Amino acid sequence: MVRCPECDAEIDVDEDEVEEGEILTCPECDVELEVLQVHPVHVNVIADEDEDEEEVLAVDDGDDLEEDEEESEEEEPEE
């Protein structure tokens, strides 16, 4: 028995039936888990690549916004 690190649900896993590196899915929250260790079983949440890309894009958008603001301030005529 192992607990999902995301939702803390119990997942019935037999040490003899899983292999290190195997991917499991939590029946409660549907998150993908990678088996890191077999005896005893330890799992880790697999980071979703789409979420990682969204975070990077959000950071990039913020940088672009600051640059756009600086450019627009330079372009405004002084009175």
Tens digit of each residue's pLDDT (9 = 90 or more) over 53-65: 555 555 555 555 5
Look at residues 57, 34, 61 and name the one whose alpha carbon lies nearest to residue 13: 34
Domain residue spans of the chain: 2-75
Backbone torsions φ then ψ of 35, nearest 5 degrees: -75, 115
- Is CATH 3.40.50.300 correct for 2-75? no
Whether 66 has a pLDDT exceeding 90, the answer reads: no
pLDDT of the residue at 70: 55
